[in-house]
Structure 1
Amino acid sequence: MFTLSEQSWIDLFFTYLRLEKNSSTHTTNNYLRDILDFQQFMKGHKIRGFAAVTTQDVRNYLTKLFEKEYARKTVSRKISALRSFYRFHLREERVSENVFQSVVMPKKGERLPNFLYEEEMQELFDAFVDNKPLDQRDRAILELLYATGMRVSECSQLNVHDIDLMIGTVLVIGKGRKERYTPLGAFACDALEKYIEDGRVKIHTKANQVNDALFLNYRGGRLTDRSIRTIVLKRMEKVSNQKKLRPHDIRHSFATHMLNNGADLRIVQELLGHEHLSSTQIYTHVTKDRLRDVYKHTHPRA
């Protein structure tokens, strides 16, 4: 009987993720890391292939993760990846059961999303003093992320024709290849127009061929989501004293500021591209300054 190699199991799963699930590069890379981590565990415990894994092996793996003091969110992600991996191979009848199906996921903490205050966002934009092509590009990226709340991975996939400056919208391809049109504010439109008509033209001259990507690297190729994260993080660190900032915090800031200024929760859900309202509800927290301001203006004896 022909037996697939462990690498073939992995390759088939990732073909499924790309072609059937339309998973993003970011998602597939995370899945790959988690599956390779489990594969190393298998080798260390002399487990002969994915089909030979037992529920006791799974318990041993969980024990190892907790001994390494991984965050609960990280453990949940790893288990979720492996559950999906085995679910696929169960469907293809390579295993008789999903050994990760009955694993109880650790409860996630109630940590609220980190965000920048409106004044910090203004400082972020005020910090741009040069008008060089790459500065124009970086400002356009930040204005676009803050104006729309889109993910960095979505931003990296944009092409020039996805931007409509006449009516002020951008076509975003979200998770699962779902499309949504998102409005652009005046500041974002101005920054994008300047970059597209000036900075991008100059950067594109360095490319070896025509490139439709909206955001280009200094050689004229498409900026990857990793490069955009690096660019945004460097800009954020220059103006904020907060620790552990992430580019994704721009998205958190967008949602928080919209809700704090009276936006409807379902509108914000649609703008963010959330499938479930529960994903958006985490942003209904308000800052201490907002609470203090509301109290001061509404309580009769404040």
Structure 2
Amino acid sequence: MKTSRAVDDYLRHLRDVRRLSPATVRAYRADLSDLVEVLGDPPVDDVTLDLLRDWLWAAMQQGRSRATLARRTASVRGFFAWALDAEAIATDPSARLVAPKRGRTLPAVATADGLSHVMESAAVAADSGDPLALRDDAVLELLYASALRVSELCGLDLDDLDRGRRTVRVLGKGSKERVVPYGLPAERALDAYLVRARPVLAARAAQTTPALFLGARGGRLGPRAVYTVVSRTLGPEVGVETIGPHALRHSAATHLLDGGADLRSVQELLGHASLGTTQIYTHVSSERLLATYRLAHPRAER
């Protein structure tokens, strides 16, 4: 059996049996299609450990990041483990394939005071009554208030919003649903957007949509537009030009922990499957504490 055919069978298994999300299946498809292309689509049982190492080495020479190499390693190991179970191969050539160690990069985090300034500026712009400014104000407030991923925000429908309880129902990674709260500033921004802006934007579309947030032409707001909004407003505050919505998520998690929130509660808010994923924010808080100590304590550098 050619490797490409085995890959197709594996992807169907991921989609139909394991029911992984379309985005996850696409990521596997991209990695394994590259493997097939680089190796020249040999029979799957002809693929050796050395060939897999050569494939990773070629990616490294192309300047691929350690995170990409680690993901590719995980992709091929999952594929060949499945192939072994399906008896498409006699031995697993990826069993001793080692992923390069990933470097830990602390996420960009804005200060609470800095974010307060950003939100105030967005609110002032919204006071003009411009529909897009009202929408942008609500987007920023909800992203920060509920620590949403950009895909989660863009996927929200009107029915997902419970205005009475100030909560929003979110469909996260792996199609896992959770309900997260938002505060009074987000409530005010959302109410203003829903009353004064969304009807105006919806009238521009050829057909109606249940989407909570709408683009300039009345369709569902896309991730790229959200990136533009956040980069334009938050970038100067953080000091990074190309900064995305995840910075608001990182900031919300860090500020919650700084304020004494329980790590498990933050994990639930963020929708992390593992507590270990959430623990990176304790490192962010520790770094901030250490920086403050070094600046303020009279014996910090003695």
Distance 1:270 1:4, change over 3 A: same
Deviation at 1:77, TM superposition (A): 1.2
Which stretch of structure 1 is more off in the superposition, 63-72 or 285-294? 285-294
Deviation at 1:125, TM superposition (A): 1.6
Equivalence map 1:248-263=2 (5 Å): 248-263=246-261
What is the alpha-carbon distance in structure 1 between the residues aligned to residue 28 and residue 232 of structure 2?
27
Matched, 1:120 2:142: no
1:21–1:176: 8 Å Cα contact kept in structure 2? no
What is the alpha-carbon distance in structure 1 between the residues aligned to residue 136 and residue 247 of structure 2?
16
1:174 corresponding residue in structure 2: 172
2:2–2:42: 8 Å Cα contact kept in structure 1? no
Distance 1:201 1:260, change over 3 A: same
Matched, 1:76 2:73: no
Alignment size in residue pairs: 295
Q: Aligned partner of 1:57: which letter?
A: L
Deviation at 1:177, TM superposition (A): 1.6
Matched, 1:151 2:149: yes
Matched, 1:187 2:185: yes
Which stretch of structure 1 is more off in the superposition, 48-57 or 19-28? 19-28
Deviation at 1:170, TM superposition (A): 0.8
Matched, 1:27 2:21: no
Matched, 1:235 2:233: yes
The one-character-per-residue Cα deviations of 1:149-178 (angstroms, maximum 9, x if unpaired) are 121122121111111011111111122222
- Consecutive unaligned residues in structure 1, runs of 5 or more: none
What is the alpha-carbon distance in structure 2 between the residues aligned to residue 52 and residue 18 of structure 1?
26
What is the alpha-carbon distance in structure 1 between the residues aligned to residue 29 and residue 156 of structure 2?
25
What is the alpha-carbon distance in structure 1 between the residues aligned to residue 99 and residue 143 of structure 2?
32
The match for 1:279 among 277, 280, 285 is 277
2:180–2:269: 8 Å Cα contact kept in structure 1? yes
Q: Aligned partner of 2:81: which letter?
A: R
Q: Aligned partner of 1:229: which letter?
A: Y
Deviation at 1:288, TM superposition (A): 5.8
Identity of aligned residues (%): 36
What is the alpha-carbon distance in structure 2 between the residues aligned to residue 81 and residue 211 of structure 1?
36
What is the alpha-carbon distance in structure 1 between the residues aligned to residue 103 and residue 133 of structure 2?
38
2:206 corresponding residue in structure 1: 208
Distance 1:97 1:216, change over 3 A: farther
2:152–2:170: 8 Å Cα contact kept in structure 1? yes
Which stretch of structure 1 is more off in the superposition, 79-88 or 58-67? 79-88
What is the alpha-carbon distance in structure 2 between the residues aligned to residue 193 and residue 213 of structure 1?
15
2:49–2:97: 8 Å Cα contact kept in structure 1? no
Which stretch of structure 1 is more off in the superposition, 216-225 or 8-17? 8-17
What is the alpha-carbon distance in structure 2 between the residues aligned to residue 59 and residue 288 of structure 1?
37
What is the alpha-carbon distance in structure 2 between the residues aligned to residue 87 and residue 206 of structure 1?
51
1:174–1:180: 8 Å Cα contact kept in structure 2? yes
1:23–1:175: 8 Å Cα contact kept in structure 2? no
2:216 corresponding residue in structure 1: 218
The one-character-per-residue Cα deviations of 1:122-173 (angstroms, maximum 9, x if unpaired) are 2322332143222222221211111111211221211111110111111111
